[in-house]
Amino acid sequence: MSEIFAFQAVVIVCTTAAFLGSLRFLSRYLELRRERPISAPTDEGLRERLDRIEVIVEATGLEVERIAEGNRFMAKLLAERAGTSAPPNRPERVITPH
């Protein structure tokens, strides 16, 4: 046998083995997928989920309120620090040709 013919035979055998193995894997995967029951969520599971969502929403609301309170406090401090003086005049905008 020539070397090229031997190489082709090895490649064909390996390719066939890989193809059959992947077909067997795909077949088994589809069987297991068909056997697995698709269960609807139970009332208890939904209730637990809704309770967790409620806790998360309440915690988020509290954090947002704390952030808003901090912003109001900082605005008050900055207003007191600046005093009653008028804000500095901004220079006029100059349009330059490009």
How many Å apart are CA 16 and CA 18, to the nearest integer? 5
Least confident of 7-11, 32-36, 51-55, 89-93: 89-93
Whether residue 89 is contained in a domain is answered as no
Whether residue 58 is contained in a domain is answered as yes
Whether residue 94 is contained in a domain is answered as no
Whether residue 2 is contained in a domain is answered as yes
Whether residue 1 is contained in a domain is answered as yes
Instruction: Compute the average pLDDT of residues 59-80.
Output: 93
Q: How far apart are the first and last CA of the chain?
A: 79
Q: Which domain holds residue 57?
A: 43-83
Residue 86 has pLDDT above 60, yes or no: no
**CA-to-CA separations, 79 to 27, 61, 72, 82, 88, in angstroms, rounded:** 72, 27, 10, 5, 14
The pLDDT assigned to 79 comes to: 87
Predicted TM-score (pTM) of the model is 0.42
**Residue 7 has which token pair?**
């190489």
